[in-house]
A and B are shown apart, each in its own frame.
Chain A
């Protein structure tokens, strides 16, 4: 399978990339590692006329201790997040989730910024970012702005990023180890049929993979936990208010049940980690 024809431009800076996005706001797409976009282009589900390769822009691949949060450059590859000592110490859920994405080859190429900007509800990192209450930094023609994770995922593959904005940094509040990630799939590299990211440090936050058109918080579970419910009782609310998709892998009903099982496991695992 070969992508449709496109013009290829390699950006040397974020400003240059944004300039090119502004020239073709309807037809230009950013390319980082390419592991979300290129498969879609090969299937001709995406046919951008201009591909702006941001993969070589210097200075956007880092995981830094920034005081009260961990700052992650958008071009940080999954493998680098997985092995980052800073991430393991202060955002351990993110490091663990990164280690479970796809397979080693995919983790050598895919970037956190690309995965989040793609906004796929079946991806693992968006749910982890939601559970951590991360903040996304986007750069546009008029400077940078910060977008809370809760306001970032708007619809299926749709985010709050404007056509001339680029995600440059992800800020994750420092967290201890009381977190867990659970996902279920039939084959090693498949997308999660359902996944759960739970963070119990501070106010409990639980986010779900593949339970709707966007990565989504399990708010009924969070409310139950806040009012003192046990993991088992809270998990029973995992699918409240959600309408997960039916597809070749599972029916909506199956997903609703699976969510309650995986949320319970995630809460128990996170509680045990808290000690």
Chain B
């Protein structure tokens, strides 16, 4: 079937099987490999993207369900001139990653979280990230980065 998704502001139309998962639409049809597949079972959050501005796990959404909708991936956060999104900048400054595999999903989950809770407590950040696993166990700096990015006026783009 023909699926059109506005990905990072650009219309992407591809002919895919009905059973194509959104994450494979993004990675294989659109060539956007920043979104990782981790557990593939809705647990780890590595594949988190924004669907109409809200975080979702793209391994558990059909591309067909996103037809006609807007998706933002990690590639769509920075400005065209390369300036980091506030959450990316906070990850950079607080060394909020070790191996980096969970990072795109963490950044997208935090971006969504901060839209819903612009000034979260540390507990709210930790609760809000319960759907994202870091197997390096690097949570401490990830939470620090989320708190540092909170309150930024540039969050809602």
Contact = CB atoms under 8 A, between A and B. Distances in A.
Nearest to A1: B40
Interface in A91-138: 102-106, 108-109
Interface string A1-44: 11111111010000000000000000000010011001100100
A105 B109 contact: yes
B67 to A, nearest CB: 8
A189 B19 contact: no
Interface residues of B, number: 31
Interface string B77-116: 0000000000000000000000000000000010011001
Given A34-B60, A53-B65, A109-B60, A104 B109 contact: yes
Contacts of A55: 65
A108 B56 contact: yes
Contacts of A216: none
Given A34-B60, A53-B65, A108-B56, A103 B45 contact: yes
B153 interface: no
B21 A189 contact: no
A258 B54 CA distance: 36
Contacts of B42: 35, 39, 102, 105-106
A105 B131 contact: yes
B62 interface: yes
B60 A104 contact: no
A51 interface: yes
B38 interface: no
A188 interface: yes
Contacts of B21: 2
Interface string B48-59: 100100111100
A151 to B, nearest CB: 31
Nearest to B64: A8
Nearest to A39: B42
Question: Which has the most chain B C-beta neighbours within 10 Å: A1, A8, A34, A42?
Answer: A8
Top 8 nearest A-B pairs (CB, nearest first) are A103-B131, A8-B18, A188-B130, A108-B54, A3-B19, A105-B57, A103-B130, A105-B55
Interface of A: 1-8, 10, 31, 34-35, 38-39, 42, 51, 53, 55, 79, 102-106, 108-109, 188-189
12 contacts: A2-B24, A5-B18, A8-B18, A8-B62, A34-B62, A39-B42, A42-B40, A103-B131, A106-B42, A108-B51, A109-B56, A189-B131
